[in-house]
Structure formats: structure tokens, C-alpha cells
Amino acid sequence: MTEFGAAIDLALGHAMVDDPKIVVFGEDTPLLRRELLVRFGPERVRPTPISESAFLGAAVGAALGGLRPVVEVQLVDFLMVGLSALVNEAAKIEAFSGGRWNVPIVVRATCGGGYGDAGQHEQALWGMLAGVPGLAVVVPSTPADAAGLMRASIENDGPVVFLEHKLLSRQWRDAMAGGRRESVTFDVPPDGADGPVLDPPPPVPLGSAIERRLGGDVTLISLGVGVHRCLSASEELGERGVECTVIDVRSVAPLDRAAIETAARRTGRVVAVDEDYTRGGLSGEIAAVVAEAGISARFARVTTEDTIPYARHLEDATLPNVDRIVSAVESLLD
Amino acid sequence: MKAPVPALELFHQMVRMRRFEEALSELWHQGRISGELHLGIGEEGIVAGVLDHLIEGDALALDHRPTPALVGRGTDLSLLALEMVGAETGLCRGHGGHMHLFDPERLAASSGIVGAAGPMACGFALSHQRLRPGRIAVAFSGESAINQGMMLESLNLAAVWELPVLFVVKDNGWAITTRSAEMTGGTLRKRAEGFGIAYTKVRGADVGAVWRAVGPMIDDLRRGRGPAMLHATCHRPSGHFEHDPLIRMVTSPREFAAESGPLTRSLADGSGGRIRDRIGGMRRVISTAAGMRVHLSKRRGDPVTRLEQTLDATAVARVRAAVEKEILSTLAEVGSP
Ligand SMILES: Cc1ncc(C[n+]2csc(CCOP(=O)(O)OP(=O)(O)O)c2C)c(N)n1
Ligand SMILES: [Mg+2]
């Protein structure tokens, strides 16, 4: 069994052996990625100042110059400080250069909530990033996918935002949530936190969804921690005779439209379960995919409506949870 | 004429900040406070020395360690404590928590985004220019926040708009596990002066020195002479946040020993870099760990005990008793889980 965060570093380590042009940098990277630092040396694994706009912008330039940077931003919330480098530079250059130049960077960041840190440190934000043409955004839900998607992200010739959920990664759970306190508990999905990973990990192609459960009544479409919440809800619904398909999209952009269409057509009922904000994001996009394919299906979504509050009980009610998923499914049955 | 340092009052405020945060640390360990709790233990000399010069209408832009400043500015301790435990009756109704504390009556706003205090203070100061002439805005930040783009831009904005902003840089030398000097080009003095901003450096362990340095700076700010920077050193003995695992990893001999297996494997791994690179990597890990261990074991530079030694013992006892009473009644409000 491999731990989620270790799976990512495993893939990164293999990629760095294969391609000396890969460099890794970010705030506190020398200690956070100390095994990679000791294995590959300080030239390839380096610290940055707290200067997100500069070091993300520098990653773009370094990629144009021939390197393949993997940049670590501790939280996706902090990525907002350096967004121009991604949205206005990295995402544009392949198109603007008429396809003659591309920007192979991976921005690795944590995301997600469920440990009481409030909405400036717990956002998902993958929807707004995925809305920009030229940016790929991936959100793994298992260690195997975390490794496989990291491998594919590094091999991709365009910019990829790779998001690891803090509830799944032990290192981040310990750091951000004080997870080693015995006085606190978090709803950590066991199959997301630890799982089998092949060594070396085979790449998981960007834009390929996977079916986690097959059932004929309702299709649940999710990613990251949401997938595990959907699986728990499906268990509960299964006991009442309601059979769910669970699709893990794994990648918000590119989005596997075919997988969504196939499942929606089969069940005629679709529930999007998205830890990101309701509006302008993945859940609406899923509805659009279904509608554009001419499928007549009933649709509901379980998302984050508001700013994520600090208090644990308020946070629990704000983030998608099993109860809300079950109610959403029930609302489509009658 | 030079006013005497109000030593007893400064001591009182520092002890309130200290004891309140020690109580918060306990609540965190009990699991009643969630998330990464960043305390300002060790920074009280800077905060108290600055706050004593503020008047009603002055504004505070706070960073990820906002609590001591709010305590010193007079925010009700019960409201703060209730917020920390996520109560509906807390300062922000349980929605903000320890990194996002807002007190509109005191024009105090905080943010967990490193560097955000700079632009926030500029905006407060702009509102002062039009709405509250003679009032100032104080931006509290760490020394590494000065490498943030928005912070550097704020220095320039404050200079060209001649804003009454006091940039207070609390310099503990570290940003989580990174030595700030290794990631900072040049000096803060030259940066400030490069923007035409008045700069003063002071030892934050000496609250009286902070108080004396800040007085004339704030007088100038109130007279509209543009922004200023106070660079104050400090020592935060407990590191970045409560129980930071990276810091524990380097400071706990047992946990560091547990690292030696994986690190030795990485060092021996011929598929990685040249041996010279690998040794360089190992050296960096060890020197960071050793540097942090030495840094955190330092016990000098505590502003509270330093001032305490100069004060009359009965006065000290009186202050401490009064603060204990205040903390106990605050904790009673918070109750047990
Ligand atoms: C924009 C942004 N980047 C990174 C972080 C993560 N972070 C929180 S505190 C911190 C270190 C800050 O160092 P310094 O400014 O010296 O303040 P100190 O913590 O030492 O008080 C970092 C990197 C953040 N909160 N915001
Ligand atoms: Mg610091």
C-alpha cells in the first residue's frame, strides 16, 4: 500500500530520473521534498521566496527555455496571487505562437477542505482554472491515480494544474489540520489516502474518466474526495434498492465528455457532486455536456454554495457530504 | 520633551497577549480549535510598543498572526476566544476563525495570504486621507512577506500616494522552514529607502525601544509626511504554527532519526543526481534542520521576561493576577467541549 502523497513523489522521482530537464521549486520545497532534494541535488530541487507571481512567471519562462518545471504552490488559494502567469502567459503561448511553442509546466498545489481552516485555505477552485483554454486541471482521488496523473502531467506538453486534496495526503493533513492530534478527527476516505500503486506507476491519460461503480438508476459524477463521498452514498442508497453509477472524472480539463454522456444516457438521472463552487464551474459544465448531447436527463448538483466557514459544524454543512448526496439522488427519483 | 515609557501598561498588554495565546494553544491541543494556529508568542514587544501610540480611528491590517494585535487594541477577549472555538457568539460568528479575524469597530482586518496586509493598509490609509485626516494605518507582516509582489507594490503605492501607512515588519528570521535571509536580496533598509520610505530598525525584545522608536514615526505619519517602515527583530520560540510537523521533524531527535532511513536511501540512489549533487542535497537538509534546531532552542529575547526584570515585583504580581483573572473568566465563557 502506498500513501497518497508518497505516490505523487514516487511518480515525480521516476520522471526526474528519465528527464534531467525536470526541475522542482516552491516555498519550503527543500524540506517538503527532502527525499527528492537528497536524491537529485539542490540544483534541481530548490526553494523560492514567498513571491508567487515571480516564481510562477519564471516557471513559464524556464519552460520556454527548455526546462520542464514542476512548481509547488502550497495551497491552490495562494495560486491566486500568481494567476497571471498561468492565465495570461502559460495558457496562451501555444495558441499565440501558432502552435510553435509550448509551456510544459506542472503546478502542484493542495486543495480542498474538511478540517476547519476556512475559505481562504480550503478552496477547490479547479472550475475557474479549468475554464481557461490552454490549461489542464487534474484532481486525483486515489494514490494510483495521483501517481499516474502526475506522470501524465509531467509528460504533457502544455501547462497542467495538479491538485492534491489535503484530506488525502498525510503530509498536508498533518501540517494544515494538525492531524496528529488525538483530539481531532477528520472524515478521511481510507481508499483515497492509501492504496496499491505500481512501481513505476503507469501514466493515467489526462481527460480520461473512470467508472468507480456501476448501477442503473442514477449517475453520480465527481472527483477528488467527492468520489469517496459518492461511493458511501451509493452504499447507503444500494441498501434501499437504488443503484448508482459513480464516475470519477479525474480531470476537469480536458473533461471526458464521452464517459459522462454514456452514463447519463444509461441512467437518465445525473447528480454532479463537486466540492468547488456552484456557479461557473464543473457542475454546470456537466449539465451542459448532457444537454449538448441531446440527452434528456434529470439533473441535480451537490456543491459548495458559499464561502467555507471556519467552524467545523458549519463547514460540514457547506461542503458536499453523504447526506446531501443522498437527498439529491432522492430528489430525482419520485 | 521626551515622555517616559509607560512600562507597566506595556507589560500589562504584553502579558494579556501572552497569556491569551497560551490559553489558545491549550484549546488547540484539546482539539477545540481547528486548522493551523499561528501564534504571535515572542512578538508582543513589537505589537504592544506600536499599539500604545494608536488612537481611535487608526486602522490595522493584520497577517496570519492577528491575535496579539486585537488583544492589545481592545477587542473583547471572550469574543475572540469564542471565535476560535467556532461559536455562533464569536467575533465573526464562527465564520472567520483565527486567521480571518475582523473587528470593524476597530478598523482591524486580517488575512492569511502572505503580503495581503500591505495593500490592505494602503486602502485604509486612503480612506483616512479623505474621511479621517490625521489617522494612520498599520500593516503588520513577517520579514518574508516583504518578498511578496503585492507588498513591494504597496511600498511604492504608499510612497507615491503619500499614504499614512506604518509598515511594521516582525522579523524572526524564518519563513516556516526557510531562512528568510537566504531568500531575500539586499536589505530591508535599502528597499525602504529605495522607495523613499523612512526606515527604522529596532530590537523587538525591548518593548521600550520599540515604543520610543515608533513615537516620532507615527507623529510624522499623522502630519502627512508619507509612509514609514519599522523593522523589528523578534524570536518566536515555538516555530511556525502549533505542532508544525516539518519543524517537529527537524527538532525532535526521534523523528529526525526516522527520516534517516529514507534520506540515506535517497543519498545512495545512483539513479538520481551525481554524487556531488546528492551530498549537496543532504548538506542542505542537515543545515536547515540544524539551523532551525539552534534557532528554536534559543531562549533569549523574550520581551515579557525582559521587561519584567526591570519592574517592581509587587506591581508585576498585581498585573499578573489581574490578567489571570481576565483569562479565567474568558475561558469560563468558552466552557468545556
Ligand atoms: C500567498 C501565500 N503564500 C504562502 C503562504 C504560506 N505561508 C504562510 S505563513 C508563511 C511564512 C511567512 O513568513 P514571514 O512573512 O516571515 O512570517 P512569519 O510566519 O515568520 O511570521 C508562508 C509561506 C501563504 N499563507 N500565503
Ligand atoms: Mg518570519
Domain assignment of residue B2, yes or no = no
Q: Does B25 touch chain A (CB under 8 A)?
A: no
Same domain, B318 and B267: no
Residue B229: CATH number of its domain: 3.40.50.970
Model pLDDT, residue B8: 98
Q: How many CA atoms lie within 13 A of A251 on its CB side?
A: 23
Model pLDDT, residue B258: 86
- Encoded amino acid at A292, one letter: E
Q: What are the phi and psi torsion angles at B32 (to 5°)?
A: -90, -15
What is the nearest CA distance from B89 to chain A, expressed in angstroms?
A: 12
- Encoded amino acid at A34, one letter: R
Query: CB B330: neighbour CB atoms within 10 A?
Result: 19
Where does the pLDDT of residue B300 fall: very low under 50, low under 70, confident under 90, or very high at 90 and above? confident
Report the separation in Å between the CA atom of A86 and the middle of ligand 1, taken as the mean of its atom positions.
21
Q: Across the interface, do B29 and A183 touch by the CB < 8 Å criterion?
A: yes
Domain assignment of residue B128, yes or no = yes
Same domain, B87 and B105: yes
Domain assignment of residue B204, yes or no = yes
Question: Range of B194's domain?
Answer: 7-235+301-334
Query: CB B112: neighbour CB atoms within 10 A?
Result: 23
Q: Across the interface, do A38 and B113 touch by the CB < 8 Å criterion?
A: no
3-state DSSP assignment of residue A215:
coil
C-alpha span between B202 and B64 (Å, rounded): 22
Q: Quick one: how many helices (H) and strands (E) in chain A?
A: 16, 14
Topology of the domain comprising A2-195: Rossmann fold (3.40.50)
From residue A49, how far is each of A77, A111, B122, B176, B240 by CA, in Å?
17, 21, 23, 11, 16
Q: Does B238 touch chain A (CB under 8 A)?
A: no
Per-residue pLDDT tens digits for B65-120: 999 999 999 999 999 999 999 999 999 999 999 999 999 999 999 999 999 999 99
For B91, the grid coordinates are: 467575533
Per-residue pLDDT tens digits for A33-68: 999 999 999 999 999 999 999 999 999 999 999 999
Same domain, B117 and B212: yes
Locate CATH 3.40.50.920 in chain A: 210-333
Q: What residue owns the CA closest to ligand 1's atom 5?
A: B114
Question: What stretch of H or E contains B229?
Answer: strand B228-233
Domain assignment of residue B84, yes or no = yes
Per-residue pLDDT tens digits for A185-235: 999 999 999 999 999 999 999 999 999 999 999 999 999 999 999 999 999
C-alpha span between A248 and A256 (Å, rounded): 10
Domain assignment of residue B240, yes or no = no
Burial class (CB in 10 A: 0-12, 13-18, 19+), A182: exposed
Q: Which of A304, A131, A178 is nearest to B242 (CA)?
A: A178
Q: Cα-atom radius of gyration of chain B, to the nearest Å?
A: 21
Same domain, B140 and B268: no
Smallest Cβ distance to A30: which of B175, B265, B284?
B284
Q: State whether the beta carbon of B235 lies less than 6 angstroms from ligand 1.
A: no
The position carrying cell 454546470 is A284
The position carrying cell 514587544 is B45
Q: What residue owns the CA closest to ligand 1's atom 19?
A: B175
C-alpha span between A44 and B297 (Å, rounded): 31
Same domain, B208 and B167: yes
Taking CA atoms, what residue in B is nearest to A12? B272
Same domain, B139 and B251: no
Interstrand relation of B165-171 and B228-233 (parallel, antiparallel or unpaired): parallel
Q: Which of B244, B303, B241 is nearest to B72 (CA)?
A: B303
- Tell how far CA B254 is from the center of its chain: 30
Q: Across the interface, do B281 and A180 touch by the CB < 8 Å criterion?
A: no
C-alpha span between B280 and B286 (Å, rounded): 10
Same domain, B177 and B117: yes
Same domain, B85 and B201: yes
pTM over 0.95: yes
- Report the first-to-last Cα separation within chain A, whole angstroms: 42
Smallest Cβ distance to B266: which of A28, A39, A116?
A39
Q: Which residue has the higher pLDDT, B237 or A82?
A: A82
For B43, the grid coordinates are: 512578538
Any idea what DSSP says for residue B3? P
Topology of the domain comprising A210-333: Rossmann fold (3.40.50)
Query: What total of structural domains would you count in chain B?
Result: 2
Q: Which of A45, A117, A47, A50 is nearest to A82 (CA)?
A: A50
Same domain, B165 and B252: no
Same domain, B102 and B44: yes
Neighboring chain A residues of B182 at a CB cutoff of 8 Å = 47
Report the separation in Å between the CA atom of B150 and the middle of ligand 1, taken as the mean of its atom positions.
13
Report the separation in Å between the CA atom of B148 and the middle of ligand 1, taken as the mean of its atom positions.
10
Residues whose CB falls within 8 Å of the CB of residue A319, separated by 6 or more in sequence, listed in order: A113, A114, A275, A304, A308
Same domain, B213 and B258: no
For residue B335, pLDDT over 90 is answered with no
Locate CATH 3.40.50.970 in chain A: 2-195
Mutate to test the pocket of ligand 1, among B176, B241, B244 (most ligand atoms within 8 A of CB): B176
Mean pLDDT of B243-272: 87
Domain assignment of residue B226, yes or no = yes
Model pLDDT, residue B1: 47
CA angle A77, A80, A82 (to 5 degrees): 130
Taking CA atoms, what residue in B is nearest to A54? B149
Same domain, B161 and B27: yes
Starting from the CA of residue B42, give the closest ligand: 1
| Edge-to-edge strands, sheet with B108-110 | B102-103, B108-110, B59-62, B137-142, B165-171, B228-233, B198-203
Q: Does B29 touch chain A (CB under 8 A)?
A: yes
Q: Across the interface, do A27 and B176 touch by the CB < 8 Å criterion?
A: yes
Any idea what DSSP says for residue A92? H
ipTM of the complex: 0.96
Neighboring chain A residues of B287 at a CB cutoff of 8 Å = none
Mean pLDDT of A318-322: 98
C-alpha span between A296 and A330 (Å, rounded): 18
For B257, the grid coordinates are: 532519526
Domain assignment of residue B111, yes or no = yes
- Contact yes or no for A269/A243 (Cβ under 8 A): no
What is the nearest CA distance from A283 to chain B, expressed in angstroms?
A: 25
Q: Does B145 touch chain A (CB under 8 A)?
A: yes
